[in-house]
A = this chain, B = another copy of it.
């Protein structure tokens, strides 16, 4: 087997553990110097490949690569960029091959979600369509947990742990204040199309009356009268009401609530944020004092409260990607297979990329209670294992000590290319 270099890049919204996958790929590759030369990371995802903007990861110390395991975000830069089809933009593919040839790249590892799986699939076809020998392996990642086949997507478990912890903590707070002050608290979480993160908020409620009391899923049309009735019921029964809401909840007509002008007589678009929209609705219709929070990037970057299971899976999938490539395979995504719920046992299987690209996995209806406002026991059985265990990063000066890599560029050999 000849020695070839590898390309690795990060794509789409970053997570608390995508760098753990990077560590998995790079550390595994370093163990096979007879087969894999250097790992070149694309600066800002596939754009780094197109523009020949490569980072030489061999310049990073073993210690710094290991520290990626506890560092959130995408250390090499990510991108929101989807390759067009070969028919639509052949030039891009020719350019990729040019860059791969110039840097002797035979392995392509792409770390991302559904869109990125599509990019990886297209690259995997270069062998067939353009005669360039490459093995393209997709490393799964997405906080939205919407990738098919795999039991879960790395990044999700840590967001789930963050939102469950945060809404529990805020719930204790509101409970304290509710007698004379705030009665309703709303936490807005990510997940524009799939309600997995919203569902994870529900884990915080482990007994009757515990917050959150209401969850609003993107899969369930927003029913304003039913929602308001439920809020009132909670405040009357428990003294307060804690709500977890997906940024993507929709009215029955399919419009996003955050854009529905619900609260503005002039129909102005809101500044963003469904939480304030819901808060105002509650105030206007029921008169309760409210507070709201929008976690936004905090939730997906919160490495300080990452799920140990999530970190382990992210790392293991990075390592598996290298193993699969070294076995000569192409167009594969290593995926998590659940063997048992409790105790959670899992292994890694190989999913064909064609079955992954552009497929979204939504919450099954049976994971949502009949009234649409909470999660079922089946959902808990699924979610609970994914937030287990803590993996506290090292702290320095009272804050998590995350690594910033040197990111030394590989010398350019080609003319520039405009993306």
Q: Which chain A residues have a beta carbon within 8 Å of chain B's beta carbons?
A: 10, 13-14, 16, 43-45, 47, 71-75, 77-81, 161, 164-166, 168-170, 172-177, 179-181, 185, 187, 203-204, 206, 263-264, 266, 268, 270-273, 275-277, 279-280, 291-298, 300-305, 307, 384, 387-390, 392, 395, 397-400, 402
Minimum distance in angstroms from A178 CB to a CB of chain B: 8
On whether the beta carbons of B402 and A387 are closer than 8 Å, the reply is: no
Report which residue of A10, A390, A398 has the largest number of chain B beta carbons within 10 angstroms of its beta carbon.
Answer: A398
User: Do A161 and B398 touch (CB < 8 A)?
Assistant: yes
Known: A45-B180, A295-B295, A390-B392. 6 other contacts (CB 8 A): A73-B173, A73-B176, A78-B180, A169-B297, A187-B298, A203-B397
Separation of A280 and B270 alpha carbons in the complex (Å): 10
> A273 to B402, alpha carbons, bound, how many Å?
30
CB neighbours (8 Å) of A296 from chain B are 170, 291-293
- Assess whether A272 is in contact with B268, with CB atoms less than 8 Å apart: no
Please determine whether A302 and B399 come into contact, CB atoms closer than 8 angstroms.
Answer: no
Please name all residues of chain B whose beta carbon is closer than 8 Å to the beta carbon of A387 when the two chains form the complex: 397-399
CA distance A170 to B304 in the complex (A): 12
Contact of B266 with A271 in the complex, beta carbons under 8 Å: no
Q: Which of A276, A304, A388 has the most CB of B within 10 A?
A: A304
User: When the two chains form their complex, are residues B73 and A14 in contact, meaning their CB atoms are under 8 A apart?
Assistant: no
Q: Which residues of B contact A43 (CB under 8 A)?
A: 179
* A266, B399: Cα distance in complex, Å: 43
Are A173 and B276 within 8 A (Cβ)?
no
CA distance A204 to B395 in the complex (A): 12
Q: Which single member of B13, B80, B181, B297 contacts A185 (CB below 8 Å)?
A: B297
In the complex, residue of chain B having the shortest beta-carbon distance to the beta carbon of A170: B297
Q: Which of B161, B276, B295, B395 contacts A273 (CB 8 A)?
A: B276
In the complex, which of the residues B13, B176, B273, B280 contacts A77, with contact meaning CB atoms closer than 8 Å? B176
A-B complex: 9 closest residue pairs judged by Cβ atoms: A73-B172, A387-B398, A271-B276, A74-B176, A293-B296, A169-B301, A44-B179, A173-B301, A170-B297
Q: In the assembly, what is the distance between CA of A177 and CA of B13, in Å?
A: 7
In the bound assembly, the distance between CA atoms of A298 and B293 in angstroms comes to: 7
Option from B275, B277, B291, B305 in Cβ contact (under 8 Å) with A305:
B305
Chain B nearest CB, measured from A265 CB (Å): 9
A44 to B176, CA, bound (A): 7
Output the least CB separation between A180 and chain B (Å). Answer: 4
Interchain CA distance A401-B253 in the complex, whole Å: 41
What's the Cα separation between A185 and B294 when bound, in Å? 13
Question: Which of B166, B272, B402 is close to A302, meaning CB atoms less than 8 Å apart?
Answer: B166
